[in-house]
Chains A and B, each alone.
Chain A
Amino acid sequence: MADSAIAFSAKPNFRSEAVGFLTDATLCIGCKACEVACKQWNDLPADNLGPMTGMSYDNTIALGAETWRHVAFIERTADESAIGSPVTWLMLSDVCKHCVNAACMEACPTGAIIRTEFDSVYIQPDICNGCGYCIPACPFGVPQLSAAGAAQKCTMCYDRLRGGLEPACAKACPTESIRFGFVEELYASGVARIAQLRERDVDARLYGDRMLGGTGAIGGLNALFVLNDAPETFNLPAAPDLPQRIVPRAFAATAAAALVLCAAAIAAMQERS
């Protein structure tokens, strides 16, 4: 049944010029070179190096205003109560999904969030006024407000792309767990990788694809992921949708309520004999 899901999963309608990432959890060794390369290239400050979290080797915890790659460590033990029970790890370098239809971009009231010529989603730092609407709008919890007040997230190294270089994280990755390229090609290799992994009995799925329920009106992700467990295990929503899909219907419902309330108000204010 899972195999037929691959067969029936129609290819998302990626734009031909779109570039993006394919991040493969089965190849990640948790070295965090991507995190470091990202911070160095983009001149981002170190994360708070306070007390350790105790959440495996993950002291980064989540994507943030100054953390645009986050290597998640998910520890799994066969039996938590047994001391010395073998531990296995899931590792995944999370990143902005650069959605085909991006919720942050739809929400942005200033037009600070734009789609670039590479089809990536980019926040113009000189336009953003820190209204904060993109933050609860994103179904993946990616953008965050920086201490200076503007929303920030992965730029897909827009400056490197302009200069003909691949993003710093992909360049630094020593296992090709992070691959950069045209999304159409990455999608095809993602599907092939899933089939290969399933032949080896690995519980693999392509995240953002219809085999997991799709991405609704988001229409696909320019940053795809090969996962070896349920998306939720990696803190990713299984079947996210574009929150703005509700806007026309919500305005219609509000207008209908407005009509009823106005009619009631006129009736209530009439003189009674």
Chain B
Amino acid sequence: MNERRHHAGDMSQSNRRRSAAPTSPASPYGLPVIRRAHWGWLVVVYFFLGGLSGLSAVVAALASLTRGSAASETVRAGRYLSLAALIPCPLLLILDLRKPARFLNMLRVIKLRSPMSLGVWGLILFSLVSGLGVARQAASDGFLGAGRLAAVTRRLPEQTLAIVTIPLGLFLAGYTGVLLAATAVPLWAKRGLLLGPLFLSSALSGSAAAIAAALAVRRPSHGEVTALARLERIATLAEAALLWGWLTRLGATAKPLMSGGTGRAVRHGAAGAGLALPLVLNATATITPAHWRRSLTLIASALTLLGGFLLRYAIVFGGNRSADDPAAAFALTRAEPRR
């Protein structure tokens, strides 16, 4: 009602010309200017699993290219984890459509300025290439038997597959940030350049954590676990810096995000449980006896993954709340340079 009162004050002056922009523009009756997306939990889970799948494959590919057989455990776990996270992804996307039977209409066109169109094609390409990589891994691991199928699969060019997987996996984890940025939603659009990098770093910390956990279950003091812990630390620090930078540069636009459930998810979930605690736990793990190390690694990994999930929850649902905020929408569309 403050907005209304301000408006009434405006009127009492006169109906004459005023200087171009009102000082504090108000939406009549506080109604939203733009409309929120219907995206909810399905999209949150997809953002999380897509990032995990993409960067698990990337970590596996990088390890295989630079370390070879010295990192064979990381490569194996990364590839299988990537496949497991990938399988629900198309299903989640189709279920989120309001007309799921028409999902194939996504394949009518390729639109370079529609991140969703690019994302669909990216997901398909990534599935094909990383699928071949997993098949190659399964053949080496003896899961395809000893017949002709296994022989043919083993002949797949491992290095080439790894090299092609890297950009596709990075795209799968990062495009979702661009997708959100290319909307009129203040929370997503205002500092949209940072969303892709934020999602990437979060996917990297989550993937490193998940692979480390898979390895630590069997051999907690393995050198590869230590290498993955280093990787997780770097990604977590990058994610913390990006999250901090994004939130501070959002200013008042972050209000709907930082209040209520999404606010708790960012503060306690993404930042507290997902970034700070794993850093402390992993640092502690390096100076504790081996039998403690495994538990610490597993707890840190679980927290990192939980944090990454809550980050996406907060950004998606916080964006929906931000779409209802007329003041933020008007602040984004003032007659002045935007970014």
* A residues with CB within 8 A of B: 1-2, 5, 53, 55, 61-62, 72, 74, 76-80, 88, 103, 106-112, 127-133, 135-145, 148-150, 198, 201-203, 212-214, 216, 230-241, 243-244, 246-247, 249-251, 253-258, 260-262, 264-266, 268-272
Q: Which residue of B lies closest to A239 (CB)?
A: B335
A241 to B332, CA, bound (A): 9
Segment 281-335 of B: residues with Cβ below 8 Å from A: 319, 323, 326, 329-330, 332-335
In the bound assembly, the distance between CA atoms of A244 and B35 in angstroms comes to 17
Does B192 lie within 8 Å of A133, measured CB to CB? Answer: no
CB contact under 8 A between A201 and B333, given known A76-B8, A150-B98, A269-B62: no
Are B98 and A132 within 8 A (Cβ)? yes
A127, A131, A140, A262: which contacts B116 (Cβ < 8 A)?
A131
Interface residue from A130, A132, A239 paired with B333 (Cβ < 8 Å): A239
Count CB-based A-B contacts (< 8 Å): 288
A234 CB → nearest B CB, Å: 7
Q: A131-B98, A241-B338 are in contact. List 14 more A-B contacts (CB 8 A).
A: A55-B29, A61-B31, A80-B4, A136-B35, A136-B37, A202-B15, A203-B18, A238-B21, A238-B335, A262-B166, A264-B235, A265-B235, A270-B67, A270-B227
Residues of B within 8 A of A (CB): 4-5, 7-8, 11-12, 15-22, 25-29, 31-39, 58-59, 62-63, 66-67, 70-71, 74, 96-100, 102-103, 105-106, 108-109, 111-117, 120, 166-167, 170, 174-175, 177-179, 181-185, 188-189, 192-197, 200-201, 204, 223, 226-228, 230-231, 233-235, 238, 319, 323, 326, 329-330, 332-336, 338-339
Q: Are A269 and B335 in contact (CB under 8 A)?
A: no
Which of A53, A129, A133, A272 gathers most chain B CB within 10 Å?
A129
Contacting residue for A107 out of B97, B112, B182, CB 8 A: B182
In angstroms, Cα B315 to Cα A95, docked, is 30
User: Are B170 and A262 neighbours in the complex by a CB distance under 8 Å?
Assistant: yes
The prevalent SS among residues of B at the interface is helix
**A243:B116 contact, CB within 8 angstroms:** no
A262 to B170, CA, bound (A): 9
The CA-CA distance from A107 to B167 in the complex, in Å, is 23
Are B204 and A265 in contact, CB atoms less than 8 angstroms apart? Answer: yes
CB pair B31–A132 under 8 Å, yes or no, is no
Report whether B105 and A127 are in contact in the complex, using a CB–CB cutoff of 8 Å.
Answer: yes
CA of A148 to CA of B212 in the docked complex: distance in angstroms?
Answer: 46
Contact partners of A214 in chain B: CB under 8 A: 335
Residues of A within 8 A of B167 (CB): 258
Chain B nearest Cβ from A67, distance in angstroms: 12
Q: A135-B37, A238-B335, A268-B231 are in contact. Are A230 and B21 (CB under 8 A)?
A: yes
CA distance A225 to B333 in the complex (A): 17
A207 CB to closest chain B CB (Å) equals: 12
Residues from chain A with a CB closer than 8 A to the CB of B11 are 76-78, 88
A257 to B97, alpha carbons, bound, how many Å?
Answer: 30
Closest to B93 in A: A131
Chain A to chain B contacts (Cβ below 8 Å), 18 pairs? A107-B116, A130-B102, A131-B97, A136-B319, A142-B35, A201-B16, A230-B21, A233-B7, A235-B33, A243-B181, A243-B182, A243-B183, A249-B193, A255-B170, A258-B170, A261-B200, A262-B58, A270-B67
Given the interface pairs A106-B114, A212-B335, the reply to whether A261 lies near B16 with Cβ below 8 Å is: no
Taking CB as reference atom, which chain B residue is nearest A146? B98
Q: Are B195 and A250 interface neighbours, CB within 8 A?
A: yes
Q: Using Cβ atoms and an 8 Å threshold, which residues of chain B touch A61?
A: 31
Report yes or no: B37 in contact with A133, Cβ–Cβ below 8 A.
Answer: yes
Contact A110 B105 (CB under 8 A): yes
Find out whether the CB atom of A78 lies under 8 angstroms from the CB atom of B38: no
| Shortest distance from the beta carbon of B224 to any chain A beta carbon, whole Å | 8
Complex Cα distance, B62 from A257, in Å, reads 16
Q: Which of B58, B99, B234 contacts A264, CB < 8 Å?
A: B234
> Do A250 and B192 touch (CB < 8 A)?
yes
Given known A-B contacts A61-B31, A201-B17, A230-B21, A129 and B182 have beta carbons under 8 A apart:
no
Which of B17, B27, B175 gathers most chain A CB within 10 Å? B17
Cα-based distance from A230 to B200 in the complex (angstroms): 41
Contact call B8/A80, Cβ cutoff below 8 A: yes
Contacts of B59 in A (CB 8 A): 265
**Smallest Cβ-Cβ distance to A252: which chain B residue:** B193
Name the residue on A nearest B232 (C-beta): A268
With a CB–CB cut-off of 8 A, which chain A residues contact B182? 106-107, 137, 243-244, 246-247, 250
Q: Given the complex of chains A and B, what is the CA–CA distance between A243 and B109 in angstroms?
A: 20
A232→B22 contact, CB < 8 A:
yes
Q: Do the beta carbons of A262 and B62 come within 8 Å of each other?
A: yes
Q: Are B12 and A79 touching (Cβ within 8 A)?
A: yes
CB nearest to A235 among chain B residues: B27
| Contact residues in B for A258 (Cβ distance below 8 Å) | 167, 170, 174, 200
